[in-house]
Amino acid sequence: MIRALTGLSTRNPWKVIGLWAVVGIFLSVLSQGLIYRVTQAQSGDFLPAKYDSAAALKVAEERFGVKPDANAVTVLVARADGKPLTGPDHRRVAALAEQLGHRRVAMPAPKEDGPPSFLAEDYSQTPKVSPAMVAPDRGFELLSVQLTGNSTDPGLHDLYRAFRDRAEADFAEAGMRTGFTGGLADLVDTAEAEETTQQVVGMLMVGLIVLINILVFRSALAAFVPLLAVAIVGGAAAGAVVGVAMLAGIKLDPSTPSMISVVLIGIGVDYFLFLLFRFREELRAHPDLPPRAVSAEVSARVGTAITSAALTIVAAFATLGVATFGQFRVLGPAIAVSVLVMLLAALTLMPALLAVTGRKMFWPSRALKREPRPGTAARVGDLVARRPFALALASVALLGALAAGLTGIRMDFGQASGTHDTPAAATSAEISRALPAGVSDPVTVYVTAKNGRALTAEGLDALPKALAEVKGVGQVGRTTLNSDSTAARIDLYLTVDTQSQQARDLVSGPVRATVAARTPAGLEAHVGGTAAIFADISTAVDHDLKIVFPVAAVLIALILLVLLRSLLAPAVLMAAVGLGFAATLGASALFFQHLLGKPGVNFVLPLVLFLFVVALGTDYNILISDRIREEMERPGPARAAVARAVRHTAPAIATAGIVLAASFGSLAVNAAPSTQQIGFATALGIMLSAFVLSIVLVPALAAILGRGTWWPFRPGRDRGRHHAGPRAPQPHHDRISVP
């Protein structure tokens, strides 16, 4: 199957390239316009209905008409001269608020670099504006504004800016100043603050990939063609994910598009590099063969390893489909679909590009005309073959020392957006100096009657009084009944940031305990709000980790068994990547928790690291193991075969590892602490996988075990089995002396 695909692509390269270009561009445009229609930004919507905060969301939607895509904005209104608000001021604020609540906000004209206008969502609407509360010193009054739509959609951001500008102008005419914070305001201000940084980081990442390829291949085509191909395939993959989501009726997490982009850039360039290095090697070894024939043979041979590597990633992420937390359950299959698209490109588009460019791919380099001198890779391969025990012990010692950081590791469920000095952050700080920290994001208790009978505020009076006594609850709002009095709502304003660990502990502990104890008989109560949602997410994630880890490990092991046709080799690789995972997580805990003094590592980091470091790191182990087996099928000592495998494969692994680490490392400059940790830790894990596991530890273990690595089969016994096609005589530095 693999040879048939690569052969068809190299025989008809221009047709394959043209088809990918048309499909990639079409799906890319389609995905840009439709991606926000298949994403949902509310984390609580990803929780199963059995969780308390999910039940609270359901009551809010069914009994109080709260829309699932509602976005709250808190508007601070104060006198421009800084004096306390007077009675006339309050009446003026109320009148202007009523005007804003009856005036439709139209969508601004679409941007030129945005999706086509016929695909863009029209968020034009009349916002809901209502008075919230007044500061004790009458220094300001707060208004609550609700705008509906996908909070991650730039279109809704533009609508919010239009509303904000109009509100600022209206209140300024009345001698008032305004400030905006909470939810959508925080998101828009943070995005604006990060925009330049993200653009610079993106350009630097692309520049780094191009520079690495130029230094390695001394060729402009080899530097730019992989990026161009990956961009086309990335558009096709994004469109495929959006299409599958629409057909299946599922909603994606907002982080899915960016995660897919990072993954595809990394593995796409990696796969292209694997092909380029082997293509150059075979062109040099067979100068008399047509480039298309070489491309077909190389693509078929390397395609086997790439297919196994890609299926490993697919299997690992597909296991997220069994998770209970919806964000994991949709992220895994989405990345799996994207990787399958990239795999198809690696077996069709990439071979076609090699067939078309041929030897010109490496112009103006003259590396094809001469055998390169022994370099660092050859010296490392020779050292691994001569001193495998020492290098294996050194590698295990290094990884073990880093893994020691797991001692005392703590999980942090904080969701703070970073430390940008934004207008929204300044407004929030001003509010918190006069009112409870959670005033713009209350914890809400919903009470319903099991038999549907009518409720009264007086009948529930004991519950808010008891909640007011809970330490950490700064203020309790009045009990509000819905239109038919079948449900009641009680808002709690905490004295701590609702996205902090203290808030989650407070809600999951004393608040819920008080609600359970003081809710009148015959009534049912649920606690909702940001703090409650994240408290339940922490429980769901802890449950999912215990399921996903073993299932993913078993699937990866099965793929390795099929690829390597051995029982011992997969066990060696799984033990190596397991140690690499422990070392990466331990190093992350040492850096963030102990060195930087963070509350702990982000709660999703263990799962993300397991999937990325184990799955992507296994790519490199598969590549080196496949080459070791190929070299051991030739006559000669097993250690010499390991040395040759390292010499030929280490440059590809090292280059690919740096590129992939740079791709993930770009996330480390994100304002969100959780994304920073994921970027840093994943980049570190990829570097350890490439330079410690794949180039040193796995080859050293193969040198120690010899051909027994492939037990119960022993490559090399059948001297008739050689590498497909003739090989040039090996230069003198391949024939190393080993004990």
Domains located in the chain, CATH noted: 1-37+218-365 (1.20.1640.10), 69-189 (3.30.70.360), 371-420+542-549+561-739 (1.20.1640.10), 423-534 (3.30.70.1320)
pLDDT, position 729: 37
CB atoms within 10 A of CB 156: 25
Task: Answer whether residue 570 shows pLDDT above 50.
Answer: yes
- Bigger pLDDT: 205 vs 673: 205
The CA radius of gyration of the chain, in Å to the nearest whole number, is 30
Is there a contact between 650 and 642 (Cβ–Cβ < 8 Å)?
A: no
Q: Side chain identity at 370, as an amino acid letter?
A: R
Ranges 32-36, 395-399, 417-421, 520-524: which has the least confidence? 417-421
The pLDDT confidence band at residue 416, using thresholds 50, 70 and 90, is: low
CA distance 713 to 166: 75
pLDDT value for 446:
94
Whether pTM exceeds 0.85: no
The per-residue b/e assignment along 29-67, b for 16 or more CB within 10 angstroms, e otherwise, is: ebbbbbbbebbbbbbbbbbeeebbbbbbbbbbeebbeee
**Is there a contact between 610 and 553 (Cβ–Cβ < 8 Å)?**
no
Please answer whether residues 385 and 151 qualify as being in contact, where contact means their C-beta atoms are separated by less than 8 angstroms: no
Predicted confidence at residue 724, as pLDDT, reads 40
Q: Which of 301-315, 342-356, 525-539 has the lowest mean pLDDT?
A: 301-315
pLDDT of residue 734: 36
Alpha carbon distance 358, 351 (integer Å) = 10
Calculate what percentage of the chain has a pLDDT beyond 90.
27
